[in-house]
Structure 1
């Protein structure tokens, strides 16, 4: 949800803009605060202007006493009139306008339904409502409302519109630019806690990522390379070092993002919110394809990693609403690879960890019939005896006698 704040002198102009939309049938009033509500439910410009101006004292020093705010949810956010009104009222209260008169209008003139709020920046005593760090506080408030009502993040909506994320297409060329234009936004939009989770996210956009470790000049290094993939996940271009894309795409940048993501995920409790709907979708799904369809309705993606035999060994869920990437193991055992393998491939044999058979030598016995312990003995040594993992010492080298004179 994106908030846009504008201030000015013209109260009539702000009200007339919204009232015109109402008269055209493209808007309606959802709520009013500290304003008399008409008996027939219809607000009229003259009466509304009188109610607002009656609030203002005869003298005040604020140059721009009018505030006009628009709150714009994501097009995919489906909200009732009651929810929109509640969001508008909570936003105004948190911003410091809870004791000010305001009107909340819902606009439907475009596909993206949104609300406009008109209020006064001067209280009844002539004092200006504090606008200190107003835009910063507004962003924090919209973030809180997004979490409460499970809305698309404001940053994600605004940036997604600017960046227009698309899968990388090697046939179009300029692979470095395509990868950079996708990796950087994903790093800023999504939260992940491991390289594997980030790799799963990148796979949705035909991008592969690998870590490179080694030593050069006596110093250890940790690098990241990216490459374009085809629809089957195969590399189709030369890998590109993260240094060519920007610092945030390197190992240190990813580490900082993972640490930040971990703290945010713990704080907002998104894992707890996702478990019930995921469990319901998994229980109702007939097969893997049906499970994916149910997740798509929830605005989620599923990334499965399979070995050569087709067995699932890794599960990652990507929630595009909260923009969070979570391995199945983080959500619970019921979402692990083994559970999904058994659920979708019941004919596959369960994985059993079988210990390899090792021939055990016959224990040696002494003349008195007692078992002699040793390094390869199958009998545990007694306390005070030879340690279980004895240190093996190299035999002393025999000192070679030096010979003098001519040797034939």
Structure 2
């Protein structure tokens, strides 16, 4: 049984609140006492009821907020409406609001699963004096205990014994257990205070609580199970309170939040079935738990977010988007959004833009310095927006070293097939618009041969007679010297074509975490 004393008022606005519930079919006025002639001619209006209470209360002008409004409720349907009304009468008498002539209104509400009543009366007694209100909330709990015959101290002792059976590893977790049982708990000066009904019921040393600490809960399977439960019921709940109620009723799980009611910063899961307390962050982040959007709305938000990223940075890559989406526990792969174990295809124009940007990123790893080099690479990697590719202001050392090595090959008269020698070095030759380029895909190098002063005529194959002559030439005192051309490894043009199967690795659509494209 709970009696919640609600805020006072000068104009008895609680009448309007309850009458509005009546008009919506969610409540009804079950008792009206000592209102004189109000209501004798039919159903009284809100104005008539509030007008009478204001006039009655004006007998004591020193009371600024004479409204006394209390909600009395029981657990579920353990009491009938009639039984709860009898309880309300005894409650009003014990609290000093039942003297002859005291006006009151009692409304029965049926918009929740708990039978509950709302009582409205005045803090002014029939003789004009102010009804005693000191320590009102504490007296209210004492009155409830007296009416129900509850031994408060025994109940606290029993609840404390029950709490000791739980696995908890911090004061915050112990507090969560007691809060789930209806208590307020706080610590001060190395002592723990347990409060109920507006009164401190028990004070114990903090050290006594710390002696009960056990190692943190480690059952990963249960955490995974709880995560699934929380997400499932979050998606069918309209808010935090509804979610708490569903989990309590169906699974014996209490969610105890910390921080402001409308903006909690964390929560604990009190798993009564397993007598354990788990830090909610280990199961599901607070912001995720309280995200009551539908799965469709969440995917729409993610897609809108990706669209904004592409608008702000038309060259953003899949890897960069991956880093942005990590906090939302989402990622994209092969044009599909993956989130929370579900998938949705990305809009085609976004998927195409991201794939193009991945290829642009790869092109820029070659450090093209001229528009001709850029255009060649765009053609190779099938990028239709060369204007998005940045030209490099300076060559990396790897490019300089490669040019030096190519000069050695081109200047070596003993090299019969320059193309084969280049192939051995990882280069293939691509001719475009009358110019020849050496491209190394593994080391991300593109070299304009003519621009680097290399004789492109050496790329042409030599006559077979000249090959035989060089192969059997002599020197050094008549000794025969065999100079074999750098071997084509038996691959020939077929191997060369394989080098041009750009993207053959199939790695562009993988999750790009920044490790796939190494310089």
User: Which TM-score applies when normalising by structure 1?
Assistant: 0.37
User: Which TM-score applies when normalising by structure 2?
Assistant: 0.30
Q: Max radius of gyration: which structure? A: 2
* Greater RCO structure (CA 8 Å; 6+ sep): 1
